[in-house]
Structure 1
Amino acid sequence: MIPPGSTLGILGSGQLGRMLAVAAAQLGYRCHIYAPESGPACDVAAAFTRGAYHDAAALGEFARGCAAVTYEFENIDVAAIDAVAAHAPVAPGRASLETAAHRAKEKRLAEACGGRPAPWRHVTTRAELDAALAGIGTPAILKTATEGYDGKGQVRLKSPDEAEAAWATVGGRECVLEGMVSFTHEFSILLVRGGDSTSVAYPPPHNEHRDGILARSSVPAPETIAAQAEAATALATKLADKLGHVGLLTCEFFATPDGPVFNEMAPRVHNSGHWTIEGAATSQFENHVRAVLGLPLGSTALTGISAEMENLIGDEADAWRALLAENGAHLHLYGKHEARPGRKMGHVTRVRR
């Protein structure tokens, strides 16, 4: 157990790092941000080191000043984790990052743990794409194996005739081809696992997307999701145990007539859990910090009858004055100076009590 007054290092300077730093500060910890460029997290942290994720010397110097280190996103080379781990404990560990950052690896692990992903094929060449399309059929989605998020690095194929254009769109990179799934709802399991292998899960939020970006998460979820939550949570727990995961693990699912279909996982706090700041007894950010620092995990119970988180994307954040005036609305702006289409500028949470 790392005592208050110690420094928690965070790799990444985005809004997830910002909310982690706020949660850590409330528990009496200082946060040191390491990233290639300044970002929202730096506004609320005690220290910031500008450095590349491939700079082992700079990462080592940063880590030596931290009691523990975590990260806010998975698009970091595992070599960076190794460089930090030589000087300070890192959570989640290498296995979690290496698996969740690669779509084929996470799907194989989900299958090994008894989960059911959508029909898929690993694609590394143009010829393999043709073979995958012949096996899965269309419509289908071609996704880069790494670095895809919020709809990026993805292209839909309506017929095999679109293979050449799709392959060019992803730059001929390693991919997975996924068959389309007929589903009624999308949801996520937010599981927090401590270093002592104990874990707690939040009520599963119903996630609604717009243009490939999460628009809204709400709890409690519809009955269709609630009926599948136990099976989905069991899979998330198996995945976390298999990886020796410490911290928050997010697993996204499709609710289908045949049960939950695994989509993907993230070894970190997640946009679909932002509602927990006001909507749960202990936020996902605080519980992640607790797990990483070896503290007891907090309650995940709802603070009200229901909670809803709405993302503020692009110029939607311009409505901040009206949101401040709205009774019961909890506004979070991330301090980003430039609003662009598809860019998450903040969120607002409404809790019904």
Structure 2
Amino acid sequence: MTVRPGSTIGILGGGQLGRMLAIAAANLGYRTHIYAPGLSGPASEVAARWTRGDYDDAAAIAAWVSQVDVVTYEFENVDVAPLKGLDGVRPSLRALEVAQDRVAEKAFAETVGGRPAPYCPVDSLTDLTQALEMVGMPAILKTRRFGYDGKGQARVRDAAQAGDAWAAIGEQPAVLEKMVAFEAEFSIILARGLDGRIVRYDAATNRHKDGILDLSTVPPSGIVAEQAEEAGALAERIAGALGYVGVLACEFFASKDGPVFNEMAPRVHNSGHWTIEGAVTSQFENHIRAVCGLPLGSTALVGTGAEMRNLIGREMEEWPTILADPTAHLHLYGKTGVKPGRKMGHVTRIF
């Protein structure tokens, strides 16, 4: 069903992704109504309405849903249970459930031909000791749920570090992954419409710093360019198998043996922020188009290439210098608390 302009899109989550979705929605004539636990947030400044409520409050969520025409989300670390039985949630709750659990996510990718790094579920220190023997070292221990930007992770270089690693992640259900040798990290971002049509953006080569995305560049070159089609085909199979509607991001390691699946995000993605100025249709507009049942827009580059750099922590204080650069497009998210590791904005340059 097509959601007509003038309708209201409910967005679960009030961060910077919600902010950019709300701006894209407004440009297409839609209103947005945010649901999030805080009193305010980056999205509240640009949305028509804001409802404060906990993510596990089923009654409050149901009341909010009754006031919107379609529901989407900018944040996947939410309880799925209160959303069960609600109509018009796009992407599907199945996609949310798979992406929330790192073991389920890797297993699902394998069912459609994906190749993650060797991994093993871990539920205790004894499990971890056994998993290290099976998977090998060095390895990385990650919580199964609610980890992002390097949080909830611990590296294990030898068996003597097992106890410290288990304690570092809070002794939570986890997955142990073998650290694979790779030449680059990259992401595939696509949009899938209600009719099943898929459009795909250029693969972005990504550089991380302290576990947080620092720089994304397009178009790809070298080994990433060689492996982008295989990775893109896998991302499309994942989207198809989930009956996906909206923007989907899949992250990969480019290795000598081909693309290694890392993880998926059932939403718009940090490595796609370059698309606001760098593509004919941004990932945010294409997500709104998809969840509203509209035709998808072109993902073609508007120039020969683009780069996007995150402004993390006090890097946002560079804004006067950035604004003085005629090639730069500055986006600040309106966050008031500057903390180390916190994404405060980004800057894009088009070539």
Q: Write out per-residue CA displacement over residues 26-58 of structure 1, whole angstroms, 9 at most, x where no aligned residue.
A: 000000000000210000000000001111111
Paired residue secondary structure (1:195)? coil
Q: Write out per-residue CA displacement over residues 135-194 of structure 1, whole angstroms, 9 at most, x where no aligned residue.
A: 112111000000000000000011011111111111111100000111101000001111
Paired residue secondary structure (1:317)? helix
User: Which amino acid in structure 2 is aligned with residue 224 of structure 1?
Assistant: I
Q: Which residue of 2 aligns with 1:75?
A: 77
Question: Following superposition, which runs of at least 4 residues in structure 1 exceed 3 angstroms of deviation?
Answer: none
In structure 2, how many angstroms separate the alpha carbons of the residues matched to 1:124 and 1:198? 40
Paired residue secondary structure (2:309)? strand
In structure 1, how many angstroms separate the alpha carbons of the residues matched to 2:55 and 2:341? 25
In structure 2, how many angstroms separate the alpha carbons of the residues matched to 1:156 and 1:351? 36
Deviation at 1:250, TM superposition (A): 0.4
Q: Which residue of 2 aligns with 1:120?
A: 119
Deviation at 1:196, TM superposition (A): 1.0
Task: Please identify, of 210-219 and 164-173, the stretch whose mean Cα deviation from structure 2 is larger.
Answer: 164-173
Q: Write out per-residue CA displacement over residues 257-280 of structure 1, whole angstroms, 9 at most, x where no aligned residue.
A: 111000000000000000000000
Tell me if structure 1 keeps the 8 A contact 2:35–2:50.
yes
User: Which amino acid in structure 1 is aligned with residue 81 of structure 2?
Assistant: A
Deviation at 1:232, TM superposition (A): 0.4
Q: Which residue of 1 aligns with 2:234?
A: 235
In structure 2, how many angstroms separate the alpha carbons of the residues matched to 1:81 and 1:70? 11
User: Which amino acid in structure 1 is aligned with residue 329 of structure 2?
Assistant: H
Q: Which residue of 2 aligns with 1:222?
A: 221
User: Which amino acid in structure 2 is aligned with residue 283 of structure 1?
Assistant: S
What is the TM-score with the length of structure 2 in the denominator?
0.98
In structure 1, how many angstroms separate the alpha carbons of the residues matched to 2:241 and 2:125? 33
Tell me if structure 1 keeps the 8 A contact 2:58–2:83.
no
In structure 2, how many angstroms separate the alpha carbons of the residues matched to 1:142 and 1:323? 38
Q: Which residue of 1 aligns with 2:150?
A: 151
Q: Which residue of 2 aligns with 1:17?
A: 18
In structure 1, how many angstroms separate the alpha carbons of the residues matched to 2:145 and 2:174? 8
Alignment of 1:243-322 (within 5 A): 243-322=242-321
Q: Which residue of 2 aligns with 1:35?
A: 36
User: Which amino acid in structure 2 is aligned with residue 66 of structure 1?
Assistant: V
In structure 1, how many angstroms separate the alpha carbons of the residues matched to 2:123 and 2:241? 27
Q: Write out per-residue CA displacement over residues 40-80 of structure 1, whole angstroms, 9 at most, x where no aligned residue.
A: 00000000000011111111111111110100011011113
Tell me if structure 1 keeps the 8 A contact 2:22–2:47.
yes
In structure 2, how many angstroms separate the alpha carbons of the residues matched to 1:204 and 1:76? 28
Specify every segment of 5 or more residues in structure 1 that has no aligned partner in the other structure, as ranges.
Answer: none
Q: Which residue of 2 aligns with 1:131?
A: 130
User: Which amino acid in structure 2 is aligned with residue 44 of structure 1?
Assistant: V
Q: Does 1:3 align with 2:10?
A: no
Deviation at 1:81, TM superposition (A): 2.2
Tell me if structure 1 keeps the 8 A contact 2:90–2:291.
yes
Identical residues among aligned pairs (%): 60
Specify every segment of 5 or more residues in structure 2 that has no aligned partner in the other structure, as ranges.
Answer: none
In structure 2, how many angstroms separate the alpha carbons of the residues matched to 1:95 and 1:125? 27
What's the RMSD between the two structures over aligned residues? 0.8
In structure 2, how many angstroms separate the alpha carbons of the residues matched to 1:203 and 1:62? 36
Paired residue secondary structure (1:141)? strand
